[in-house]
Structure 1
Amino acid sequence: MRSTRVRIAIDAMGGDNAPAEIVAGALRAQEELGVDVLLVGDPQQIEASLKQHTQSSSLEIVPSEGAIEMSEEPLIALRRKPKASINVAMDLVKKKRADAVVSAGHSGAAMAAALLRLGRLPGIDRPAIGAVLPTMIAGKPVLILDVGANVDCRPKFLEQFALMGSIYSQYVLGVAEPKVGLLNIGEEPNKGNELAIQTHQLLEENPNIPFIGNAEGRDVLSGHFDVIVCDGFAGNVLLKFAEAVGEVALQILRQELPRGLHGKVGVSFLRPNLKRIKQRMDHAEHGGGLLLGVAGICIISHGSSQAPTIFNAARLAKDAIDNEVLDRIAVTSRLAES
């Protein structure tokens, strides 16, 4: 465990609500988490956002020029804008001025910048974005990876995702003995496409992975699995569908519970329960996805992130740093290769 104070570089220009909401979340993170925050972006815009808050700020501002827009092709834009906020933030980690990066900007650009500037961990061929979702069991989330970094995968990539996911689940999410599953269309080992069949065999034969079998779509949020691996195409569809279902469920509760006299009276008593329901289902509570497999801690948050999401992303980064996730993945990967 680390004894030095964690330093987090936050891309102040990334996301739909930048920089105001990013700055608000960063201020809260520095105050409540005890971390040092470096806000990367346009100094004038950041200063204007800081003036909206009454608390005194010791946040360090690191100047950058521009940001990668959602409409831009990541690699081309990163090369054309070397001083863009996400590039500058990644360079801070590369130069050891920061321990982690948080960005709600272009996710493809964040991943590409991490690969170009930080590189991959030894023994890892492809990084994966891990997203945490709630399950039917209170206090027992499930980690899904990959949810968008790799559309096309080989069996070996999925094996590495399972390895990284089990380490993350154990040391950051606090699961003593993580149960790893492979997303598939059936429970039997011979079900699915060639990728699924070959991956199943690799996972079953790897002693470093606590693999318990295939996970069907209905199993994802059951709480039976702690980690579920899949390619980035299926994972991204799964993630966005799950988020939409959560939003629909909350909207239905808001519409239906107050109906009628009994409903209006009942809602007043149910407010604490409804707040807890929202907390369990709201993706903002998890802060975003950790890009596992690169040689640095990188949290990719939603483009629509507001202050609470940025705060939770900073918390997620601090947990990963405090629990030495990078070192554990690197060591386990080397052991698996030997």
Structure 2
Amino acid sequence: MASTEVRIAIDAMGGDHAPGEIVAGALRAREELGVKILLVGDPQQIEAAMPPKTNLADVEIVPADEAIAMDDEPLNAVRRKPKASINVAMDLVKKQQADAVFSAGHSGAAMASALLRLGRLKGIDRPAIGTVFPTILASKPVLILDVGANVDCRPKFLEQFAVMGSVYSQYVLGTPEPKVGLLNIGEEESKGNEVALRAYQLLQKNHQINFIGNAEGRDVLSGNFDVIVCDGFVGNVLLKFAESLGSVILQILREELPQGLHGQIGTAILKPNLKRIKQRMDHAEHGGALLLGVAGICFIGHGSSQAPSIFSAIRMAKEAVDNHVLQRLNSQYPILQNESS
């Protein structure tokens, strides 16, 4: 990198609240994190979304003539619209004009664009989307992958996810020796389908990771595991369930708190605690999911992402760049090139 300033290319046209919330989160990141922001999309819409006194010297607007809609077929749209904002943002990373890319738009299109423009890391058969879940231990999140990129997985894909997840957990999430688990229907080695049984053997033999065995559904938020691997079908169901869990718990708390004067006093006393609960369970605090396995730092946000989520995703992207995640993943090449199936 020619400069110490981390450069983040942002698909300003992707997401339900684009470009307004995207721009707001990006400007906050510029101010608080000191990153260079490259907003990719329609210049007129981007400028209109900026506050009146915004210093345009703080950001760079990169024009893009098209955008990919949420109902577009991802691969066809990426190929048919070379000047779409997500493609232009990926090209900035490919040309080393940006260090990372973020999009809250069509996740399938973001993945297709990353694969076509950045390519896969050596030794990686399938990239995986990894996202961070809170656990019952306040300072110990768990990384789950894959949460949607690969509906079906071969055992060696799960092994590769485990290696990539361990690197990310160690160098970005700050876990010294990440404990890896395989999501399964039982903790015994003999449990699961043929894919799970074979994956267990591969993970057990892989000395590059700290594999501690199967993780059942009840273990996901226990804090006993730092990285849990699964196929994208199961992972995506788990992700959507977890996203709803926080709002359900907060709603129950609101309904069960006493009403009237006593309730108002009790709520006032508990307000700091409730705020911390919300922060721990709110997916906006984690911002986005990292697409691990492509030759670039790529974060994918939820379509409904608003400014706080955008800010958090940019912060995570900066941390991934600062901690040289790509270089560290490339250093695992001899392990990732496992020919086992």
TM-score, with structure 2 as normaliser: 0.96
1:284-314: CA deviations, max 9, x gaps? 0001100000000000000000001011110
Shift of 1:54: 3.5
- Give the conservation status (yes or no) of the 8 Å contact 1:26–1:37: yes
Q: Which residue of 2 aligns with 1:87?
A: 87
Q: Which residue of 2 aligns with 1:188?
A: 188
- Give the conservation status (yes or no) of the 8 Å contact 1:11–1:103: yes
Letter in 2 for 1:279: Q
Q: Which residue of 1 aligns with 2:105?
A: 105
- Give the conservation status (yes or no) of the 8 Å contact 2:86–2:113: yes
Shift of 1:261: 3.1
Which moved further from structure 2: 217-226 or 259-268? 259-268
Which moved further from structure 2: 251-260 or 13-22? 251-260
Letter in 1 for 2:198: Q
- Give the conservation status (yes or no) of the 8 Å contact 1:171–1:325: yes
Query: In the TM superposition, what are the counterparts of 1:284-323 in structure 2 within 5 Å?
Result: 284-323=284-323
Letter in 2 for 1:16: D
Query: Which ranges of structure 1 fall in alignment gaps of 5 or more residues?
Result: none
Query: In the TM superposition, what are the counterparts of 1:13-28 in structure 2 within 5 Å?
Result: 13-28=13-28
Letter in 1 for 2:239: L
Q: In structure 1, what is the Cα distance between the partners aligned to 2:52 and 2:137?
A: 38
- Say whether residues 1:11 and 2:11 are aligned partners: yes
Q: Which residue of 2 aligns with 1:121?
A: 121
1:43-84: CA deviations, max 9, x gaps? 00001011x354424210000012111111001111111101
1:119-141: CA deviations, max 9, x gaps? 00111111000000000111110
Query: Which ranges of structure 2 fall in alignment gaps of 5 or more residues?
Result: none
Q: In structure 1, what is the Cα distance between the partners aligned to 2:184 and 2:2?
A: 39
Q: In structure 2, what is the Cα distance between the partners aligned to 1:2 and 1:43?
A: 27
Shift of 1:257: 2.0
Q: In structure 2, what is the Cα distance between the partners aligned to 1:54 and 1:299?
A: 29
Q: Which residue of 1 aligns with 2:242?
A: 242
Runs of 4+ in 1 over 4 A off after TM superposition: none
Q: In structure 1, what is the Cα distance between the partners aligned to 2:335 and 2:2?
A: 24
Aligned length: 337
- Give the conservation status (yes or no) of the 8 Å contact 1:128–1:145: yes
TM-score, with structure 1 as normaliser: 0.97
Query: In the TM superposition, what are the counterparts of 1:26-65 in structure 2 within 5 Å?
Result: 26-50=26-50, 52-57=51-56, 58-65=58-65
1:241-282: CA deviations, max 9, x gaps? 111111111121223225243222110111111111110000
Give SS of 1:271's match. helix
Q: In structure 1, what is the Cα distance between the partners aligned to 2:182 and 2:333?
A: 19
Letter in 2 for 1:261: L
Letter in 2 for 1:192: G
Give SS of 1:175's match. coil
Give me the CA root mean square deviation.
1.4
Query: In the TM superposition, what are the counterparts of 1:218-229 in structure 2 within 5 Å?
Result: 218-229=218-229
Give % identity: 74
- Give the conservation status (yes or no) of the 8 Å contact 2:124–2:336: no
- Say whether residues 1:164 and 2:164 are aligned partners: yes
Shift of 1:318: 0.5
Q: Report the CA distance shift for 1:65/1:55 in structure 2 as closer, same or farther (over 3 A).
A: closer
